[in-house]
Every structure is written in structure tokens, then in C-alpha cells.
Structure 1
Amino acid sequence: MNGFTEHGLDEDSFGASKGGIASFDAFPKTKKTYLTRGRDSSSWTVLLLCTCIYLSWSEISRWWAGQTTQTFSVEKGVAHDMQINIDIVVAMKCADLHVNMQDAAGDRTLAGDLLRKDPTYFTQYGKGAHALGQGPDALPGWEDMWDVHDQLGAAKKRKKFPKTPRMRGEGDSCRIFGSLDGNKVQGDFHITARGHGYREFGEHLDHGRFNFSHHIQELSFGPYYPSLVNPLDNTVATTEDHFYKFQYYLSIVPTIYTDDASLLPLLEAVNRDTDHPAKHVFHSSHAVKTNQYAATSQSHKVAENYIPGIFVKFDIEPITLTVAEEWGGFFRLIVRLVNVISGVMVAGGWAWQMFDWGMEIYGRKQRSRGESMGMLRTFSDRKEKMAFD
């Protein structure tokens, strides 16, 4: 006896269930015996997802920033006048300075009568100033362009000269600032001492009072945009010599900044004449027409038979620099994103298949090498049968 009857068990106890509910599988499964477990590709999938996110973000950032192009062309518009904006502090009293401008056409402008002169102290200025070409914000020339959005944003800010700081006493320096109009031709702007320079009536100034150390806060050409940084802005030059000549050479290039390419034909052909029917284009928030310049300096000590002072010689180039920023359409962005994501997925799938194929070939070679060396193979999936007597 096998002891089953003692526990109330018989053959029916080991038969099929007689209940009303029976298990039913409508979708037959493949037996585990015939399945081969592949390599874990979860890490590869995460890598592909990270790659897609990174490339998609790069495409969106590039689309948002736009594409900036810089082109040179012959200046088309005809303009006769050009505005000059200056804000300079000279280490001499205002009564001892003469400011003049003369252009290639022979016209002389008494700039001292058109600009404002305020007494001040030289030590009140110069904070954060640098010598030409030596500061962290120094621009070597017009070829170093900023972002178009930075230029457009700076042009929207206030357009007034700051007030002269209050002081006690008469002051030891003179602040000369303001805007004046001149011919759009080659010219010279110079600051000299009273009684020296042009032949004029006036008391001769003692040479011991000469000191042309100066701090240039603003020197620009065209509409006054104080937030646009120019090469000579916030520069300082000092000397201990009484007879010293500060000479600056400027090469001016008319420049257009815009983020709307459709305005370019109008901007290139229209000048700022108040009677021009298309003058409204200069008040657009999508375009700025100004002038950039490259600056060099050749300052040196001079003999007493020469004229000391501050001399700015400017020349206008017959070309126009256009800095335009354009965006592709939103539909183009979607197409590029789809191409990037699908390309990464397809390339990633191929790379994984090639890796899996290579590992399979490598495994076969390893197994064949083991058999050739007389090693026995083992099978972990071997099953044993059990029977009841």
C-alpha cells in the first residue's frame, strides 16, 4: 500500500478538475524551452533617448537664436549730413578750451558754441575706464559684431546724455558733451587750448596750464544710441607733459542691424531726411541704422612749436555693413526635429544590431575554440524526469 487510502485519496483526486471553471488560454504561448533570452538593451535605449533630447534642444536653440549673416555692399542711399555725438572730460578749465570741427569740404564748425560745457572734477570720472584696445570691453574694430538682439535692445533705451555730477568749487576739468551735425565727408574734430590752433583773438594761455588728459565717455556717429558700445567709449588717456598730442584715426562704416530681412531694401536706400516718405522705417523696433568705426591712436609728445591737443580724424567708407538675423518657419523646425529623432532611432537600431551580431560571432568563436581544446559542454537547462512507483 502506498498510504493514499489512509488519507482518503484515490485516483480521482489526481485527475482533472471537476469544477465549473476551467483555465483557458486563447493566446498560446511559446514554451520557454524554445526561447532564447537576448541581451539587455535598456542602457542603449536610455542613451538614444538622451541623444535625441540633446540634439532636439540644440535644434530648438539654433532656431530660436536665428541665423546671423554679415554682408558688405556699396552704400546706396545718398545722405549729406551726419550727426556726431560726443561726451568727453578734459583736465582743463572750460574757459581755456576751444572745440572746432573742419571737414574736407572746407566748412568749419564752431563746435564749442553748439556743445555744452560743464565744469567738473577729473577724478569724478574714469571708474572702470581703460586705455584704447586694452580693456575687457575694448573693440578692435567694426569687424567684431554683437548679437542683433543686443543691438536692437540697446537702441530702445534712453537717448539722453547723463547729467553732470554735482560738485563743490570751480572744478579742475571741463565736460564737453552734446550732438552736432556736419557734412558726411572726411573731417577733423579737435580740442585745443585757448590762443593756440586757429588764428583768433584771445588771450594767450600759459603753457604750464596745458593738460590734455581726457576721458571719453561717448563718441559715436549717426543717431545717438548711448547703450551701443563703440571702440572709444569709456576710454581714458593721461599724460604729465604739457605739450602732448592725442591723435585718433577713425574709419567709419555705415551699419544696419535688423531681424526683419524684408526691411533691408528700404533701409539701404532711405536716408534720415525728415521729408522722406519712408522715414518711418528708422523708428521700427526691428531695425537700427547707425555707424560703426575702427579706431587707432598715434599719440606722442610734441615740441613747443607744434600745437598740442586732442585731434580726431575720421574718414567715411563708401560701403555698408548689413547684419541681419533670420529665422526658419515653425514648420521647418518640426521637420528638422522629426528628421533628427528618426535618424537617431534608425542609426541606433542599426548600431545595436551590428553590436549584437558581432557579439554572437565572437561567442561562437569562443565556443568552437573550447571544443577544439577537448572541453565538455554543459547545459543548465537539462531537466530530470520523476516517477512515482
Structure 2
Amino acid sequence: MDGFTSRVRTFDAFPKVDSQHTVRSQRGGFSTLMTIFVGLLIVWVEIGGFLGGYVDRQFTVDDEIKSNLFINVDMLVAMPCEFLHTNVLDLTRDRYLAGETLNFEGLNFFIPEGFKINNPNDAHDTPELDEIMRESMRAEFRIEGARINEGAPACHIFGSIPVNQVKGDFHITAKGYGYRDRAHVPVEALNFTHLIQEFSFGEFYPFINNPLDATGKTTEENLQAYKYHTKVVPTLYQRLGLIIDTNQYALTESQHVCNIKDPNKLDIPGIYFRYDFEPIKLIIIERRLPFIQFVAKLATILGGLLILAGYLYRLYDRLLGILFGKKYVEKNTERKSGGLLDNDVKESFQDI
């Protein structure tokens, strides 16, 4: 049994030193205290990280086709509601009269505080998991297809439009432009100055920020056309069993003054939202390390800390010896009694 024990000690990664072969000093005590403090700090940080988890982002192929996807709209256009025509046209040539589900409310035009007017809409950051979970309050518009006070100078358009998950566009034009209509709005009455309070895809979460939210464009041109091109990416957020299935989009925009007198060019003033769905899906999940993996990681870090602290202390001691000499290094040190030399000294004194 003793032979087996001695062989096992040969493979000891951290060989022990007998107490009589060690030297105690103020520097060594301070080094030990610092090592313990750093070790406790690492343990505290790692336990907090283990309990809080980490955010994992993955891209996967989106193999789900939703036939009941919604476009959520809440905007104000500086024209009377009775002048406006809304429509959705997608890649399948399926035309949907958005005015049947959208609500039109006549108001006076005004610009609320905090809106970004005539600024490039380049805020395309992916919302963080904490932000989504905090703002994920689902809502629905209470009314559908209502028309209120249409004769007012501006029109508040709001509601949700069911669309197919294919490439298409939702546009707002004036009556008599682009479509045959019994009414025809005079050119001098056209004004596509607009404010966008909400423009999103999927379930309606009014507190989640989107690139077009709280933005607007103003113009003095009657034949102005605004075009917003969106690339929609389905996004799934998940934390502790709570799932938020939504969509985010990147945006590019353009604007120009139309030339309606050219018969060879189909150029219609209005506000156009063109959308295309990417074939990928972003999944953002909060995960937590398995407990065994966490313990192994913590043990590895603490073991590495002890080894590093030993190397640093010996390096510091050697530098002091080079700079100030051996006597300075051995000052204020204490060696424990014991060992062969101490026993021989004691025996010699006893013989005397």
C-alpha cells in the first residue's frame, strides 16, 4: 500500500511542501490575501453569470410560411382622408384593398415632439433581449374600417393589414392617380407630407421600437413620391419559456418629384412601403450553462489563478533579489522549526 501511495505522489500536479521547508514573510501573506480576494471575486462573478445565463444568437433557415402576417400602420398624412387611396399589391399579383381594414380619422396636421423629421432613417440595430421582454406588450386596434371626420385637413391612418409572406408593397396615393376612380384630386391639393408613429410586421407590439417609428417627411412639392424599401427578417426571442415571435427590418429610402406629364413613364406621387422577406430567421435565446460544466469551468479558473499567483510571487521575489540583494529579500522572514538540521542542533546542545 505504501508503494502505491508513493507512486501516486509522483504524478501529483500540485506537490506539497513540508512546513519546515517553507518561509513566511509579509510579502507572502499579502500575496495570499490578494489571491484569496481575487479568487472570491471570480467566484462571485461566475456565480452571477451562471444564474443570469447568457444570450445566444443563431441564424436558421425560415421554413415557415405565414399566411396571416400583418402590417401594422399608424401614420398621419397632410391630406384629407377623402382624397386618399390605400392598396396592397404583392408578388402573386394579389391585390388587397387596405382601406377595408384600415381606419381613417380626420385631424389637423401637427408634428409631435421627439419625431425625426427629414432625417435619414438608419437606426437598424437589433433590439436586445431585455428590451424586447420589457416592451413585449401585445395590442390590437379596437376598430376596423372606420371613417371619421373625413373632411379635416389631415388624415390619421391606422390599423393592421393582413398580407401574404411574399414580396409586395403597400402604398398611399391620391384618388385618380394610378387607379381609375370617379374622383380626381387636383394637383395643387396634393401634399404627401407625413408622420409615421408605427410601422411594423407581424404581431402588434406598440412599445417595441422600429426603424420607421417616430419619423416623418415634409415637402412643399405637390408631386412628391416617398419610397421605403424594407428587408424583413423574422426574429424569435425566448427566455425561460416565454417566446416573442416578431419581425425586424432593415430600411433604405428614396424620394423624388414625379413627372406625370410623361406618358411613357408610370410615375405616380404617393407614399410607398415596399417589403421583402428574407429566407432566414434570427433566434435570440437566453441559455444557462449546465451545472457540471459550470463547476468544471470554475475549478479550472481557480486552479489557473493559484498557479499564476505562484509564478508572479516568485518573479517578484527574484526581481527584488536582483535589485536590492539577498539580504533585503530575507528580511522580515520567518522559517518554521523542524527538519534534520534543527534536530542535529538540538542534540548537540543536549550533549553539552
**TM-score, normalised to structure 1's length?**
0.68
Cα shift readout 1:152-199 (whole Å, capped 9, x = no counterpart): 3322x2414599xxxx99643111011121222111111011222211
For 1:193, which of 157, 165, 174 is the aligned residue? 174
TM-aligned CA deviation for residue 117 of structure 1:
0.9
Q: Deviations over 1:23-60 (max 9, x none)?
A: xxxxxxx9xxxxx8734445434543443344334434
Aligned counterparts of 2:153 and 2:250: Cα–Cα separation in 1 = 31
Residue 132 of structure 2 corresponds to which residue in structure 1? 151
* 1:335–1:359 Cα change, 3 Å: same
Contact 1:192 1:309 in 2 (8 A): yes
Matched, 1:326 2:326: no
The residue number in structure 1 matching 2:243 is 287
Give per-residue Cα distances to partners, 1:3-33, cap 9 Å, x unaligned: xxxxxxxxxxxxxxxxxxxxxxxxxxx9xxx
1:1-389 matches, cutoff 5 A: 38-123=25-110, 125-131=111-117, 134=120, 139-140=123-124, 144-155=125-136, 157-161=137-141, 171-202=152-183, 204-259=184-239, 286-305=242-261, 306-364=267-325
Amino acid in structure 2 at the alignment position of 1:86: V
Cα 1:64–1:238 shift into 2, 3 Å: farther
Taking the aligned partners of 2:284 and 2:34, their CA distance within structure 1 comes to 39
Per the TM alignment, residue 312 of structure 1 is displaced from its structure 2 partner at its CA by 1.0
Q: Could you tell me how far apart the structure 1 residues matched to 2:49 and 2:321 are?
A: 42
Query: Residue 301 of structure 2 aligns to a residue in which SS?
Result: helix
Q: Distance in 2 between matches of 1:184 and 1:65?
A: 36
Q: TM-score, normalised by structure 2?
A: 0.74
Report which of the two structures shows the higher radius of gyration computed on alpha carbons.
Answer: 1
CA separation of 1:51/1:38 partners in 2, compared to 1, >3 Å: closer, same or farther?
closer
Q: Structure 1's 49 and 85: CA in aligned 2 closer, same or farther, altered over 3 A? A: same
Deviations 1:61-88 (A, max 9, x none): 4334433333322222233332111111
For the 8 Å contact 1:71–1:321, the answer to whether it is kept is yes
Check whether the contact 1:59–1:336 (CA below 8 A) recurs between aligned residues: no
Structure-1 separation of matches of 2:306 and 2:218: 64
Counterparts in 2 of 1:215 and 1:57: CA distance versus 1, 3 Å: farther
* Distance apart, 1:151 and its partner CA: 1.8
Q: Structure 1 217/337 Cα, relative in aligned 2: closer, same or farther at 3 Å?
A: same
Residue identity matched to 1:130: K
Question: Contact (CA 8 Å) 2:72, 2:198: kept in 1 or not?
Answer: yes
**Distance apart, 1:334 and its partner CA:** 4.1
The separation in 2 between residues aligned to 1:229 and 1:175, in whole angstroms, is 20
More displaced stretch, 114-123 vs 244-253: 114-123
CA distance in 1, matches of 2:208, 2:252: 19
1-structure distance, mates of 2:105, 2:258? 28
User: Alpha-carbon deviations, 1:113-145, whole Å to 9, x = none?
Assistant: 21111112221x43211257757xx523xxx32
Partner-residue secondary structure (3-state), 2:25: coil
Distance 2:142 2:310 in 1: 64
Unaligned runs of 5+ in 2: 1-19, 144-148, 262-266, 329-352
CA contact (8 A) 1:56 1:340 kept: no
SS of the counterpart of 2:235?
strand
Alpha-carbon distance in structure 2 between the residues aligned to 1:50 and 1:173: 66
- Does structure 1 retain, via aligned residues, the 8 Å contact 2:117–2:218? no
CA contact (8 A) 1:152 1:287 kept: no
Q: In structure 1, give the amino acid aligned to 2:179.
A: Y
The 2-side partners of 1:354 and 1:309 are apart by 75
Asked if structure 2 preserves the Cα contact closer than 8 Å seen for 1:192 and 1:310, the reply is yes
Whichever structure has more strand as a proportion of its residues is: 2
CA shift for structure 1 position 99 = 0.9
2:56 is matched by which residue type in structure 1? T
- Name the count of aligned residue pairs: 298
- The one-letter code of the counterpart of 2:38 is T
Identity of aligned residues (%): 33
Distance of 2:42 and 2:24 partners within structure 1: 33
CA RMSD, Structure 1 to Structure 2 (Å): 3.1
Q: 1:361 to 1:248 in 2, by over 3 A?
A: closer
Inter-partner Cα distance in structure 1 for 2:27 and 2:142: 68
**Match for 1:299: what amino acid?**
Q
Distance 2:40 2:117 in 1: 46
Mind listing any 5+ residue stretches in structure 1 that lack a counterpart? 1-29, 31-35, 261-284, 368-389
With over 3 angstroms needed to count, the CA separation of the structure-2 counterparts of 1:66 and 1:250, relative to structure 1, is same
